Amino acid sequence: MAGNDPRDLSVEAARLRLLGAVGPVAGVERIGLAEADGRVLAGPVHAPTALPREDAAALDGYALRGDDAVAGRRLRVVGRALAGAPWSGTVAPGTCARIMTGAVVPAGADTVIAQERVQADEGWITLDATLTAGANVRLAGEDAAAGEEMLGAGCRIDARVIALLAALGMVSVTVARPVRVGLLSTGSELRPPGTSLASGELYDSNRPMLAALLSRPCVSLRDLGTVPDDPEQLSARFAQTADLDLVIVTGGVSVGEADWVRPVLAQRGQLDFWRVAVKPGRPLVFGRLGNCWLMGLPGNPVSAYVTFRLFVEPVVQRLAGLPAREPLTLLVSIGEAVRHRADRTSFLRGRWIASTDGGRGVVPLPAQGSAMLSGLAQADCLIELPAGQTAFAAGTAVKVWPL
């Protein structure tokens, strides 16, 4: 391939342009907590009550008054409070109540001493330690004050968030509706797995890969199938995107004689075509078909994977109402010297190794071709080699994207 054009966008510039163009989908729905995992909150959640609702014991022991929490003091045990079975009496000076973790601290008491720190005999205890008033008590409202905003719009609901919502007594939440995404493969050579191949044909691997990458609760997928390199058929398929938010097309996005995505998009909608200074994955089609965004990725499966991670992932997150967040990457030392062309960012398929200092290192796998799915499937991570530097000596810290 010819050298990169100086007008090629950097990866960062391309991501900023995408995020500048796309906004969250409109539309919310109310769903039960059991369906909420992986969905995105449409608005803030306020605590309907304080959490905990009442002062409670943080451990098993005795509830007493702070003034009485002095080593050597002898207190009479006058009551018993369990989680779910509060004691309605009052702890007067010189007395205490047996209390178990989670039980409401009875009136009069403000402190809990652990059972291991007292000598107990026949309805009396003697303290082995002096405590500060308030010790071992979970105060009402210390986790959440009543009315406090606990979660904001754009929060991705996961098990931890579900636990918090349940603790607040909530049974349902308002979430953004799922993003409607269509998947379309283009290429006259493509056949579905399970069929026999004539010379020149190959199996469509991009659509199953993208379907797996997008299989998540905040996305509703539509399979638009495979279309040959034919402008009329492509145009007819584009007509099926009217109610989608995003269609992802692979193949046919470059400037070859059988590459129809750009001209058909220009005719039916708005076309934006960028070359991004990245390997693999230089051409990127971006545009609109009515209300549906279109992203066209290169047909080579490794290029399609890398450009999905770089460019489609942030767009889907934005459509879903999630905040734009940099992917979680690691800085890891590279186990052997590597080189690349400095006029673009490269992503190599890498594998973890143990590094000499006892930490984790990374080496590139042998199979680095853009069409070589073996290297991609075996990789532990993508190794990012930044533009502007050609040679990376062994031991250099490089950015890696765990897979």
Q: How far is the CB of 188 from ligand AMP (least distance, A)?
A: 9
Check: CB of residue 328 under 8 Å from CB of residue 381: no
Q: How far is the CB of 257 from ligand AMP (least distance, A)?
A: 10
Q: How far is the CB of 297 from ligand AMP (least distance, A)?
A: 8
Q: How far is the CB of 243 from ligand AMP (least distance, A)?
A: 24
Q: How far is the CB of 370 from ligand AMP (least distance, A)?
A: 8
Check: CB of residue 11 under 8 Å from CB of residue 278: yes
Q: What is the distance between the alpha carbons of residues 206 and 45, in angstroms, rounded to a whole number?
A: 39
Q: What is the distance between the alpha carbons of residues 180 and 243, in angstroms, rounded to a whole number?
A: 8
Q: How far is the CB of 180 from ligand AMP (least distance, A)?
A: 21
12-to-170, 195, 232, 393 alpha-carbon distances in Å: 40, 41, 35, 25
Of 374, 333, 380, 331, nearest to 356 by C-alpha is 333
| Residue 204 interacts with, from ligand AMP, Mg ion, none (CB under 5-8 Å by kind) | ligand AMP
Task: Using CB under 6 A, count the residues that bind ligand AMP.
Answer: 20
Q: How far is the CB of 244 from ligand AMP (least distance, A)?
A: 19
Task: Tell me phi and psi for residue 257, to 5 degrees.
Answer: -70, -20
Specify the residue, 283 or 375, whose C-beta has the smaller distance to Mg ion: 283
Q: Segment near Mg ion (CB under 5 A), from 46-54, 76-84, 118-126, 244-252?
A: 244-252
Among 178, 280, 287, 299, binds ligand AMP (CB under 6 A): 299
Among 206, 241, 346, 368, binds ligand AMP (CB under 6 A): 206
Q: How far is the CB of 373 from ligand AMP (least distance, A)?
A: 8
Check: CB of residue 124 under 8 Å from CB of residue 76: yes
Residue 296 contacts Mg ion per CB under 5 A: no
CA angle 244, 245, 250 (to 5 degrees): 85
Token pair, residue 37, equals 């995992």
Specify the residue, 162 or 371, whose C-beta has the smaller distance to ligand AMP: 371
Which string of x and - marks every residue 324-363 that binds ligand AMP (by CB under 6 A)?
----------------------------------------
Query: Which residues in the 329-388 window bind Mg ion by CB under 5 A?
Result: none
| Residue 205 interacts with, from ligand AMP, Mg ion, none (CB under 5-8 Å by kind) | ligand AMP
Torsion over CA: 35, 39, 41, 46 (sign): positive
Q: How far is the CB of 210 from ligand AMP (least distance, A)?
A: 9
Specify the residue, 111 or 307, whose C-beta has the smaller distance to ligand AMP: 307
CB-based contacts of 393: which residues, under 8 Å, 6+ apart?
Answer: 337
Among 154, 182, 187, 280, binds Mg ion (CB under 5 A): 187
Q: Is 309 helix (H, G, I), strand (E, B) or coil?
A: helix
Residue 251 contacts Mg ion per CB under 5 A: yes
Token pair, residue 287, equals 């545009």
Q: What is the distance between the alpha carbons of residues 79 and 125, in angstroms, rounded to a whole number?
A: 13
Residue 254 contacts ligand AMP per CB under 6 A: yes
Specify the residue, 24 or 281, whose C-beta has the smaller distance to Mg ion: 281
Residue 187 contacts ligand AMP per CB under 6 A: yes
234-to-231, 264, 292, 365, 366 alpha-carbon distances in Å: 5, 7, 16, 37, 37
Residue 321 contacts ligand AMP per CB under 6 A: no
Q: How far is the CB of 401 from ligand AMP (least distance, A)?
A: 22
110 in the Ramachandran plot: left (φ > 0), alpha (ψ -120 to 50) or beta?
Answer: alpha
Residue 296 contacts ligand AMP per CB under 6 A: no
Q: Segment near Mg ion (CB under 5 A), from 97-105, 147-155, 243-251, 306-314?
A: 243-251
| Residue 123 interacts with, from ligand AMP, Mg ion, none (CB under 5-8 Å by kind) | none
Token pair, residue 75, equals 């207190």
Ranges of beta strands (E only) in 241-324 are 246-250, 270-275, 278-279, 283-289, 292-297
206-to-171, 185, 226 alpha-carbon distances in Å: 39, 7, 10
| Amino acid in the structure at residue 274 | W
The two counts, helices (H) then strands (E), for the chain are 8, 28
Give the footprint of Mg ion on this chain (CB under 5 A). 187, 251-252
Give the footprint of ligand AMP on this chain (CB under 6 A). 185, 187, 189-190, 202, 204-207, 250-254, 256, 298-301, 371
